[in-house]
Amino acid sequence: MNLEDIKATKELLSAEQKIVIIPHKNPDGDAIGSTLALWHYLKNKGHNATIISPNDYPKFLKWMPGNEQIKNFETDSIGAKRLIAEATLIFTLDFNHLGRIGQLQPLVEDTSATFIMIDHHQAPSDYAKIMYSDVSMSSTCEMIYNFIEFLGDENKVTPEMASCLYTGIMTDTGSFKYRSTTSNTHRIVANLIEKGADNTKIHNNVFDTNTPSKLHLLGCALKNMVILKKYGTAYITLSQEELDIYNYKKGDTEGIVNYGLTLDGIKLAVIFIENKEEGIIKISFRSEGNFSVNEFARNHFQGGGHTNAAGGKSDETMEETTTYFTSLLERYKDELNA
Ligand code: 5GP
Ligand code: MN
């Protein structure tokens, strides 16, 4: 964040604002952790702030302090509409173009509120007056810690905020192992533990939450894995029928895509998940090394994200989607075998 933006933010926050904080659709640990931490911070500073999520999110994120006040647009659209219409300041966290907030997009585009974007994804669009966008960051939670520090309020990080920020950094870095995890990330994480984040408890709250049906769904996914050795690729499919058999709940497929990358010689791992209600196949991409799944998802599957983790979708059937996907790999063969 540059000095000018820090100054402008300080000025904005020196008067009382009506603030709405928005994470992306299908929010993950980083999206929920960052919005909640910012909410605590703003509320403690005397602002009137509300988090509006475009839709619901997994149960394993619902233990975070402040969770009960998050408004779900799908179940409380009237209240959410009013808050957005009345907002003077809108923070958008962990995404960088308004296509990522689903049904909230037209409402948000219609306000006269000032926008502040805090995000670490590639290719930000230009809707925010103040943009703290940095693709080198491990997570939006790491950026929220920096943001609070820029505003001179590092000592105002409470145990509640520390828990939320720790959670988002942990989930977005694959428990501190992805390449985006820097020495600075670890310094911030150390500070968060000092400020009251209970690291072991947080890990248990997020990861030790399996149910028998979730593990059986994982078994089904791993059985379905297709390994395309000559393209250094492994992909998994889950049909709606399979999700129904295993009593799928939001979040049950989290992390399954990563299994492909644990195989020797596999550089690209993908999971295709059918969503009959939305009429799409939701896709998650993960890669190792320089193969950019952000570009791959952007160019072929209406998506985007980061170099090594991205998402997208397809409007075709599962069979058409995987056939199309496989047909694309020939042109990336050299990169995927490098
Ligand atoms: P996941 O596969 O875990 O859903 O997402 C991986 C990364 O890609 C996340 O940073 C997420 O924000 C981003 N992402 C997921 N789906 C989409 C999408 O449809 N469009 C864009 N632009 N990014 C996505
Ligand atoms: Mn993130």
CATH of the domain at 169: 3.90.1640.10
**16: confidence class by pLDDT, cuts 50, 70, 90:** very high
pTM: 0.96
Q: Last residue of a domain, which of 207, 234, 256? A: 207
Residues 37 and 174 in one domain: yes
- Which ligand is nearest to the Cα of residue 119, counting in written order? 2
pLDDT value, residue 193: 98
Max alpha carbon distance in the chain (Å)? 60
- Residues with Cβ within 5 Å of ion ligand 2? 30, 94, 139-140, 172
Number of domains the chain contains: 2
Q: Residue 331: which CATH number? A: 3.10.310.30
Ligand 1 neighbourhood includes 303 CB (under 6 angstroms): yes
Nearest CA to ligand 1 atom 2: 284
Co-location of 321 and 288 in the same domain: yes
pLDDT tens track for 88-143:
999 999 999 999 999 999 999 999 999 999 999 999 999 999 999 999 999 999 99
Pair 80, 203 in one domain: yes
- On whether the CB atoms of residues 166 and 199 are closer than 8 A, the answer is yes
Spatial separation of the C-alpha atoms in residues 276 and 317, rounded to whole Å:
10
Q: Is the CB of 284 under 6 A from ligand 1?
A: yes
Burial 139-177 (b: 16+ CB within 10 A, else e): bbbbbbbbbbebbeeeeebeebbbbbbbbbbbbbbbeee
- Please check whether residues 185 and 239 belong to one and the same domain: no
Predicted pLDDT at 338: 84
Whether 282 is in the pocket of ligand 1, judged by its Cβ within 6 Å, is no
What is the three-class DSSP state of 305? strand
311 close to ligand 1 (CB < 6 Angstrom): yes
Per cent of the chain over pLDDT 90 is 100
Where among 207, 233, 261 does a domain terminate? 207
Task: Indicate the residue among 207, 227, 244 that finishes a domain.
Answer: 207
What integer is the mean pLDDT of 160-178? 98
Which tens digits make up the pLDDT trace of 234-275? 999 999 999 999 999 999 999 999 999 999 999 999 999 999
Residues 107 and 174 in one domain: yes
Task: For ligand 1, say whether the CB of 286 is within 6 Å of any of its atoms.
Answer: no
Q: What range defines the domain where residue 244 resides? A: 212-336
Residue 24: its pLDDT value, please? 98
- Whether residue 284 sits in one domain with residue 186: no
Q: Are residues 127 and 53 in the same domain?
A: yes
Residues 105 and 172 in one domain: yes
Whether 32 and 179 map to the same domain: the answer is yes
